[in-house]
Structure 1
Amino acid sequence: MDHRLPRAVLFDRDGTLIRDVPYNGDPDLVEPMPTAVQAVQLLRAHGIRIGVVTNQSGIGRGLVGAAEVEAVNARVELVFGGFDVWRVCPHHPDDGCACRKPAPGLLMDACDALGVAPEDVAMLGDIGADMAAAEAAGVRGILVPTEVTRHEEIRAAREVAATTGDAVRTLLGDRSAA
């Protein structure tokens, strides 16, 4: 597909970086997805900026507090060594906000914060909403399916990788061994 090295990579949090624990407010439940920590380290080693764009509707639903989500995000930062940008949508799905994926708002805002044009950014996520947000934002999307990813989402994705590490190696091309 695209053989240019991205200037930035955005990750979905739940199901892509860490195991998805619905409406998680407990930092002790943070568990990295297989290959995710190494994938983030590989991007850093290549000087590629990294960020997280995550829907956290549990806040809008009243199931988890913003401070609890921030505590989970802080643990993710600790496990992965930090990110250049975080963008979180706290809204309920019925709120009609412009930031909740599949809308492009989170991704566009992250690109702006990083000072990187969308065409120089890749997005890794585990569901169709992540890929739809990438498409709407003009960002390259790579789907990393999990057990919750629907078959039609996999079929619809332009690019699919078995793991987060595989997706990053795809983005880096033959540079991943360097």
Structure 2
Amino acid sequence: MKLYIKNMVCRRCKMAVLSELDKLGLRPLSVELGEVELPTPISEEQKQVLSKGLYALGFELIDDKKSKVIERIKNLIIELVHHKSNDLKTNLSHYLATDLGQDYSALSNLFSEVEGTTIEQYFILQKIEKVKELLMYNELSLSEIAWQLNYSSVAHLSNQFKKITGFTPTYFKNLKDRKRKQIEDL
């Protein structure tokens, strides 16, 4: 049995969900971003208790098909940008369509309809948050960041960064109070 969970965006989220499952004595086969696979179905009572526990941590159980697809798209993009940056050279539309087994234009239309933004814009926002993170670490040059996140040039990264944040990457890097957004708030 698969459960779909909204707002799982990182490894700590997986650990928190696993902890909630453990409280109910549930032993999942796998816990991935936005998805838990259990060996057997759970009772409605267990589902309600789990839902309340997850909600208290900022997660939500998802039941409807559209929400599951949207959450899967978001989780695939987050995983790609934040955990598999060397795979960013792949075509995003092909990557999503292949993983979800659906036509990209249908996925794109659904995402835009429900989220009020495009998949591409969501992808760009994730990349900009990753750029902010890497700038704050101050370990990579701007050209290394551009290469890692598959930007065609430093100028392209800088223009996109300024368009989204209002700051140049250099100015942002020098700010004392650099505000980053939580991934789930994008």
Normalised by the size of structure 2, how large is the TM-score? 0.25
Q: More strand by proportion, 1 or 2? A: 1
The structure whose Rg is larger is 2
Structure ranking higher in helix proportion: 2
Q: TM-score, normalised by structure 1?
A: 0.26
